[in-house]
Amino acid sequence: HPSYVMSSYVANQTVAQIELFTRTAEYPVGVYTLPKHLDEKVARLQLAKLNVSMTELTDEQAAYIGVPKEGPYKPDHYRY
């Protein structure tokens, strides 16, 4: 696997472990999907390391795709 893909995988795993450790009460024993806002947090961190920045959605764009301006940018039914 390319190093960037592995970096994304490891970063998501790390963020997930931090989430589970710091918010134990919200996650009874079970299997969970990484919340989209955490996945997007990892993406932003990686983009910053590549010197890439994201622009903010306009109100019109956010309304058109049906998501909040601040994210997450995928609807709940979307699966990565």
- How many domains does the chain divide into? 1
Predicted structure pTM score: 0.72
The reply to whether 32 falls in a domain is: yes
The reply to whether 78 falls in a domain is: no
Dump pLDDT digits (tens) for 46-68: 999 889 988 889 999 999 988 89
The reply to whether 29 falls in a domain is: yes
Residue 49 lies in domain: 3-65
The reply to whether 25 falls in a domain is: yes
The reply to whether 77 falls in a domain is: no
What is the token pair recorded at 77? 């039914």
Instruction: Give the per-residue pLDDT at 80.
Output: 63
HEC readout, the chain: CCHHHHHHHHHHHHHHHHHHHHCHHHCCCCCCCCCHHHHHHHHHHHHHHCCCCCCCCCHHHHHHHCCCCCCCCCCCCCCC
Residue 29 has pLDDT above 90, yes or no: yes
Dump pLDDT digits (tens) for 11-21: 999 999 999 99
